[in-house]
Amino acid sequence: MIVDPDPLRPPPLEVATVFFTSLIKIVSLGVFLAGVFTQSHTLVLVGGVAVVLLDVAAIFARVLNPAFPVLLAIILAVVLDPWYYGVFWASAAFHILGLPTYIARVLTPRRTATQMLIERDPEALLKRMIDNHRL
């Protein structure tokens, strides 16, 4: 029987996924905001589309409840000109609020992946820890 020295160690792919998804969220938000502050339409479009696509992916993965973001996007699309700026800002608002979390996940991806591992299936993790200590 192979004994894992650290049963709380998440798989490397999971750590990489946590790191890169958070990095993509930070970069896409940064590109959007850089476009807004430098008045670069291209950067606003690239960053805005990336931010919206990340939110759509989160909605389809059932991580994000679509009710409030969609309502906010509709309201801001009516208020702002051109309309898609409202959609971009609605998505960006949630990413701005999540920025501290994204930064923490980039700086400590293993810790975040470990927490996700514990939350996902604590019973299986406990069984793995018990099995590893039987000799």
pLDDT in tens, 105-117: 999 998 888 888 7
Residue keyed to tokens 């990340």: 54
Q: What does the chain come to in residues?
A: 135
Widest CA span in the chain? 68
Average pLDDT value for the chain: 86
pLDDT in tens, 59-83: 888 877 888 888 988 999 999 989 9
As a whole number of angstroms, the distance between CA 28 and CA 125 comes to 34
Q: What is the torsional sign of CA 42, 43, 48, 53?
A: positive
CB 41 within 8 A of CB 54: no
